[in-house]
Structure 1
């Protein structure tokens, strides 16, 4: 479960930005929006991020994507065009003479422990890297390892016996976590943290065009739980009465069923449906998978080609009582920017200043009146994150 993600000096985020999924205990509204682990803290199931075009919202998602990319590729250190992974993934703030290091850090809760893992790097080497673990039950904190700018690595007692012999073998451009995830060790700390981070699904604005997601996920849903999918299709009222699949020549084919006014049924290839329908089904499949497996999803521009009511339907999937799944998404759609649907700590804004710096803030950072309209105040510029449009004149054609 994702507790916190922070980034610094990545694309438009020059200064540190922190997305925190920890709920504010003082807020008592919408308790069903929270994950309760019987701890002092509770955690958000859904977070919505608003901002103007080019404010940097997508860069927040790219940051997590490149954070994962560093983990998956830094061990082999090869990423197309003969460039090293660390070179490809180093994307600092450009409007600055000083090319400072980029920094990522994540806090995750996994199997009874809270892990804090992060690293600092440039296009040459890993400058620093760290991992700490806290036992949720006893609150005891331990150091797993710390890596320093001179290349030295100190392992904590929990892994020192197994790991000390390898520390001279870790290249300067390879992450310690990536290195030990590849080894067979008695400790499962490295594989657990690596797996927890990679379990977060990061999807860009074009993810619904990836037909591979449908080919991978849809057959099992049709075979095992078609009723839930049909209920979803019925709820969004797009005229699909049934859906089925078959395999021909090792190729999976999908069909939807429509009825005319006389009750006659007609099959249509799923991929001949509208883009909105395909995206709706793809989102449902991914969301249902995340909810059933307690995964986190980060989706950029979730509202694109989705009706606001359908967006609400997808969000509500994550409020299933027994699930610890999380949804973090960006949107321009203010329809759901309402206290009836969200707590104040679930709403975030990204805005860019005159120097090109993106800043991330939460609605909870502002003093909000008890009777305030979130949407009205947002569109009025109270919270930032909206475009500043200069006056201009359109000349009529002659």
Structure 2
């Protein structure tokens, strides 16, 4: 579960900005929060859902993109010397051009709280630090820093492996590689301290960019070819939102794991899914008809694309986080509201974070004031991030009305002639 995420000097983020899933005490709608199981700690409730608003180009997408930096680094094959790391510093301040971008995650995995700090430029990783809190006690695992004097590592007293293993992991870690990835991928089964936090970045935090739902839609169908028992799950999901489909047929391109004799990588899986031919059979009062996937509306494709990562949260037992940029893309406001209710009523402690322009959600009384976040850019082009709960107000007020009155900022400045 995500507790907090902070970012600085990345895209439109200049100064450090923090996004928090910690619930504010004494607000109602208890189904919107959950008590995380954390060993040895009395931890506050966390939010199940958070919605991020703001004008175009205010930093909403940049926040979701920043959250996904670890996933992109893990998925990237080892970079050569002439390849750059995927960071873009804040461009309006020339003093920050060559400074590191920083990302900090506070999260919970299997009952243990972790803090992970990552600093990097396009040329190399500058800082990488992982701290765990077993039974609430701070325990440094490792701290990697690059300074003018070179690269230095500090390993915690209780960090497993021993000096020889640590030295081997260091030698395997190039300036552009993550130490945690090299250690996990080159360690024996009994060395497990890094595997849980690494697993959270690998599978516990799913990021869906604003152009990715279409890609995920075909991946959803390909997943059902591999796990056909779940086909009815997708059909029921669509039927509940008034898209009755009786059958889903996939004619794949022959480029699958069985013919290759090995499992596909994530990148290969999505690449293969793009080439698949998919036929959906729709039902109406006059009977049924087949439609090629290319004939489906953007909204239907996006719903199918949303289903797979959301369903995977349920399969994983509800400890994961799903962050979606522009969840409302091509979707009716009532459908978006229904997706939120489905998530809140799922009975799982999974978290859904999304950006949206759909202010209808502000007035449905489904979400609390601390579940609405705003991005707004200042005169220097830098994103400020804040919760609506930071402003004075009372529970039950018309949040949408106050938003359009400019009480929370985050509105486009439209100049008319």
| TM-score range normalised by the length of the shorter chain | 0.7 to 0.9
Name the CA shift for 1:83/1:298 in 2 (closer, same or farther; >3 Å): farther
Superposition deviation, residue 159 in structure 1: 1.8
- Residue 117 in 1 paired to residue 88 in 2? no
Cα distance in 1, alignment partners of residues 281 and 193 from structure 2: 48
State TM-score, norm by structure 1.
0.88
Superposition deviation, residue 96 in structure 1: 1.1
Cα distance in 2, alignment partners of residues 142 and 20 from structure 1: 23
Asked if the contact 2:85/2:124 (under 8 Å) is kept, the reply is no
**Between 382-391 and 349-358, the greater mean CA deviation after superposition:** 382-391
Superposition deviation, residue 242 in structure 1: 1.1
**Between 286-295 and 224-233, the greater mean CA deviation after superposition:** 224-233
Q: 2:324 aligns with which of 280, 299, 302?
A: 299
1:231 corresponds in structure 2 to 236
- Residue 142 in 1 paired to residue 139 in 2? yes
- Residue 323 in 1 paired to residue 348 in 2? yes
1:214 corresponds in structure 2 to 220
- Residue 41 in 1 paired to residue 47 in 2? no
Superposition deviation, residue 298 in structure 1: 1.0
Match of 2:127, SS state, is: strand
Name the CA shift for 1:90/1:272 in 2 (closer, same or farther; >3 Å): closer
Aligned pairs for 1:327-342 within 5 A = 327-338=352-363, 340-342=365-367
**Between 249-258 and 176-185, the greater mean CA deviation after superposition:** 249-258
2:159 corresponds in structure 1 to 159
Superposition deviation, residue 72 in structure 1: 3.8
Asked if the contact 1:339/1:374 (under 8 Å) is kept, the reply is no
Q: 1:312 aligns with which of 323, 330, 337?
A: 337
Name the CA shift for 1:359/1:121 in 2 (closer, same or farther; >3 Å): same
Asked if the contact 1:201/1:296 (under 8 Å) is kept, the reply is yes
**Between 366-375 and 10-19, the greater mean CA deviation after superposition:** 366-375
Name the CA shift for 1:160/1:188 in 2 (closer, same or farther; >3 Å): closer
State TM-score, norm by structure 2.
0.84
2:175 corresponds in structure 1 to 172
Match of 2:304, SS state, is: helix
Q: 2:296 aligns with which of 273, 276, 282?
A: 273
Asked if the contact 1:12/1:56 (under 8 Å) is kept, the reply is yes
1:183 corresponds in structure 2 to 186
1:257 corresponds in structure 2 to 281
Name the CA shift for 1:323/1:371 in 2 (closer, same or farther; >3 Å): closer
Name the CA shift for 1:19/1:106 in 2 (closer, same or farther; >3 Å): same
Question: What are the ranges of 5 or more consecutive residues in structure 2 without an aligned counterpart?
Answer: 256-275
**Between 169-178 and 124-133, the greater mean CA deviation after superposition:** 169-178
1:127 corresponds in structure 2 to 126
Asked if the contact 1:132/1:145 (under 8 Å) is kept, the reply is yes
RMSD: 2.3
Aligned pairs for 1:31-110 within 5 A = 31-38=30-37, 39-73=42-76, 76-78=78-80, 83-84=82-83, 87-98=84-95, 99=97, 100-110=99-109
Aligned length: 380
**Between 92-101 and 228-237, the greater mean CA deviation after superposition:** 228-237
Question: What are the ranges of 5 or more consecutive residues in structure 1 without an aligned counterpart?
Answer: 393-398
Name the CA shift for 1:52/1:249 in 2 (closer, same or farther; >3 Å): closer
